Amino acid sequence: MPVETPLPRQRLLKFAEYLSACSPEAANYGRCVSEKAEKIGHNACAKEFEVLINCFKKQVKRAKHSQRVMKFYKYKFNIQPPYNVLLDGTFCQAALEEKVIVREQVENYLPDMVNLVTTKCVIKELGKFSFYIDVDVDVSTCIITQNFSLEKIGGPVAGALKIIQQFKVAYCPHTPLRTATECIAHLARRSRKPEKTKYLVATQDPGLREQLREIGGIPLLNFIRKAVYLEKPSEKSLAETIEEPEIQKAKELKEEILGKTDVVQKKKKRKGPNPPGMRLLRKQACLPPVALLVHRLSGPCTSMAFAQQSPDDPMFLVLGRTTGEVIFLPFSKSLQSTKFESEERIPITALAEGYLRDQKTKEIVTIQSNGLIQALDYPTEVDGPVKIFSQQIYANVDDCRLMDIDGDKFSELLVILTDRVVRSYRYHEDSDRLVPLNKWEMPALISGWCIGFNGHYHYLLISQCDQSQYVTIDFGPTKEVKVQNSIINDSGQRTQLMIAPRPQAADLAHCLAERVIIANLECETETELRDIKLDVCCAGALTLENGLSLVVTMDPKGLISVFGWTKGLLQTTEPLAKCTGLAHPVFLCVYPYPKDLAICVSVIDVHNKVAVYLIDLAHIISL
């Protein structure tokens, strides 16, 4: 007999939301099973179970329909979440008659976040009332504010008026007020302009719906049998999306200017196989460590980073010590090591390189345990590093990165604190200060982090100690924060390090990770990296300019494993290469080497030994 394969866990979690919408049917089925538990027989509760399954299938069908329709409007008419749903009186009156909650129905039906709004013109038609206008003038800004207040409520639709008063009043430029149909039609036509607010219209008025269908590009909602329904795109909306491709227009213009030319058909040749993004030349290669730099410190080290002002300038390994010193170790033998001594002799817990104040000049940022930020310039053959900026922020910073995380062409300083908090700052030129931008608090202790890139903006994956959940922070327009349940590590007894498919940076926050998981948020999949036999005590990640994404892990015995893939797709979960470095490592840092398919890996062990290894993958993979 064929063995039934159980559904994957991610699919069961996905359907849980649809099953929760069938609570009455599920309760009836559970009641039937409990009543007949002692003498349960074949098909004892078949009727109740069939009702539950039909309800579940209906919910799945409705959800897929709304997702499919909103995806059409998203890509064709640029209607992006959070969706602004414009309500009229007929929609609220229908909700009152059907005894359903408007906000609950709409938010559960649409696939993303929703803002329910109405207009003052719609409120006017719901009852006989008047407005008085209170004019406030701000002398400093010369701004005139008009406040509309309700005086009298009445009429047969007082209940619908009470419902619609719960929602925000969107701006409409009508003075005097118009009818609700004219007002909504005007806002719908105006929303077709690129710079205006996009609306979804919820109405039961058939005349208004027909008018909006003729406008095109406006999603329409209405009640059908106590449930919200999203109409299919109208013929006008579908016709607007069928445009002649630009390449066809270019061909016609070329024929008008040059005339038709006879195309000579080339003889087809046998084609080779389509090459993958990355091809393995050797599997799990063992590389001898090539040491670019070896050094021994006189005291413990608390932070580490690579620094290079430009591709033509020398590379430095920057080390922060417990005494407040910053040591610059050059790779070139012609340069000598230099150091910077802070006025406060307390540990330097975070180091970063990037454009802090000027988008044209790189700086080295140091953060001490008390929250003192200092920006240093790069050492030269004549002078050592010099402090050029300082400021006090919150204490207990564990790590930091300096990069443009939101895609606005201005760098932000992202700091991760030991007290379950992540903060971001941006330099303000007028005040010559770092201005706080955002603060995010995590539900548990941070065990690791990774900054990923999805092609438009960056996002942050936060791993948590002994938790099956991890947190995602979206730095894009939505600024969304989600707590994700790990599909692979569902027990919650292990600490894992979550890595993005296109990582820009990653690190462990002084914790051991039993697993390293690649989390693809767009596809809602997770892939565990294999052949990790011992706990990972140090890790790093980056994506090279040629599109090769690399993850480097290190165990307590000093075994360095390098994993890699291209285009955000894992061609293999096994290590590309392995080599042995310093045992009992404390810090690890990864940096791109000027040579293609090569990286630098720096390691510090518990005996204060420092080593920088060159790992060249040119003879292992080909792109």
pLDDT at 7: 45
Question: 253 φ, ψ to 5°?
Answer: -65, -35
407 and 328 share one domain: yes
In this structure, is residue 599 part of a structural domain? yes
Q: Does the pLDDT at position 423 exceed 50?
A: yes
| pLDDT at residue 242 in the model | 47
Q: Is position 604 within any domain?
A: yes
Q: Which pLDDT score, from 0 to 100, does residue 10 have?
A: 47
Give the mean model confidence (pLDDT) for residues 425-447: 92
Same domain, 494 and 376: yes
Q: Would you state the pLDDT for residue 268?
A: 64
Residue 314 neighbours by CB distance under 10 Å? 18
At residue 225, the pLDDT reads: 81
**Structural domain ending residue among the three candidates 179, 202, 233:** 233
Whether the predicted pLDDT of 161 surpasses 60: yes
pLDDT at 532 over 80: yes
463 and 565 fall within a common domain = yes
Residue 404's contacts (CB-CB under 8 Å, 6 or more residues apart) are 410, 411, 412, 458
**Rounded Cα distance, 238 and 166, in Å:** 35
Confidence of residue 539 (pLDDT cuts 50, 70, 90): very high
Say how far apart CA 201 and CA 209 lie, in whole Å.
9
Residue 610 reports pLDDT greater than 90: yes
Tell me if 325 is assigned to some domain.
Answer: yes
* Interatomic CA distance for residues 178 and 181, integer angstroms: 8
The CA–CA distances, whole Å, from 592 to 435, 497, 545 equal 31, 22, 9
In angstroms, how far is CA 482 from the centroid of its own chain?
9
- pLDDT band at residue 168, thresholds of 50, 70 and 90? very high
Whether 492 has a pLDDT exceeding 80, the answer reads: no
Indicate the number of domains in the chain. 2
* Strand (E) or helix (H) holding 52: helix 46-77
Report the pLDDT value the prediction gives residue 85, as an integer from 0 to 100: 94
- 8 A C-beta contact, residue 594 and residue 311: yes
pLDDT given at position 394:
92
**Residue of 97, 115, 93, 94 lying closest to 106 (CA atoms):** 115
**Residue 162 belongs to what H/E stretch?**
helix 158-164
32-60, pLDDT tens digit by residue? 888 877 777 777 888 888 888 888 888 88
Flag whether pLDDT at 130 surpasses 60: no
404, pLDDT greater than 50: yes
Q: 314, 308 in Cβ contact below 8 A?
A: yes
The pair phi, psi for residue 120, each rounded to 5°, is: -70, -25
* pLDDT per position as a tens digit, 62-87: 888 988 999 999 888 889 888 999 99
pLDDT for res 245: 56
Per DSSP, the three-state class of 380 is coil
pLDDT band at 406 (very low <50, low <70, confident <90, very high): confident
- The pLDDT assigned to 267 comes to 63
Among the three residues 176, 199, 233, which one is the final residue of a domain in this structure?
233
CA distance 414 to 404: 10
Q: If you count DSSP H runs as helices and E runs as strands, how many of each does the chain have, helices first? A: 11, 39
Q: How many residues does the chain have?
A: 623
| Element housing 325 (H / E) | strand 325-330
Residues 388 and 509 in one domain: yes
Phi, psi of 77 (to 5 degrees): -125, 10
Which pair of tokens denotes residue 239?
Answer: 């016709």
Residue 617, pLDDT above cutoff 80? yes
Residue 68 falls inside a structural domain = no
Report yes or no on 273 lying in a domain.
no
- Residue 603 within any structural domain of the chain: yes
Cβ 590 vs Cβ 570: under 8 Å: no
Is residue 556 situated within a structural domain?
A: yes
Q: Is the pLDDT of residue 278 over 80?
A: no
- In a domain, residue 84? The reply is yes
Q: Considering 215, 233, 251, which residue would you say is the last residue of a domain? A: 233
Predicted confidence band at 375 (pLDDT cuts at 50, 70, 90)?
Answer: very high
Question: Could you tell me the CATH number of the domain that includes residue 412?
Answer: 2.130.10.10
Mean of the per-residue pLDDT values of the chain: 84
Both 168 and 290 in a single domain?
no
Torsion of CA 282, 286, 290, 295, to 10 degrees: 150
Residues 326 and 199 in one domain: no
At 547-577, the pLDDT tens digits run 899 999 999 999 999 999 988 788 888 999 9
Pick the more confident residue, 360 or 168. 168
- 83: containing domain: 76-130+156-233
Q: Would you place residue 395 in the very low, low, confident or very high pLDDT band (cuts 50, 70, 90)?
A: very high
Confidence of residue 366 (pLDDT cuts 50, 70, 90): very high
Name the packing angle between helices 46-77 and 102-109 (round to 10°): 70
Looking at the fold, whether 196 and 296 belong to one and the same domain comes out as no
Please say if the pLDDT value at position 151 is more than 50: no
Spatial separation of the C-alpha atoms in residues 453 and 522, rounded to whole Å: 12
- Helix, strand, or coil here: 254? helix
- Which strands sit side by side in the sheet containing 548-554, from one edge to the other? 285-286, 577-580, 559-566, 548-554, 538-543
**Could you give the 3-state DSSP secondary structure of residue 109?**
helix
By percentage, how much of the chain surpasses pLDDT 90? 45
Identify the CATH number of the domain in which residue 94 sits: 3.40.50.1010
- pLDDT reported for residue 32: 87
- Given a cut of 50, whether residue 147 has pLDDT beyond it is no
Q: Which tens digit of pLDDT belongs to each residue from 300-350? A: 999 999 999 988 889 999 999 999 999 999 988 888 899 999 999 999 999
Judgement on whether residues 316 and 388 belong to the same structural domain of the protein:
yes
Determine the angle formed by the axes of helices 180-191 and 206-215, rounding to 10 degrees: 20
pTM for this model (two decimals): 0.57
pLDDT at 507 over 90: yes
Neighbours of 123 (CB within 10 A): 20
Over the stretch 198-248, which tens digit does the pLDDT of each residue have?
Answer: 999 999 999 999 999 999 999 999 998 888 989 999 988 888 754 555 567
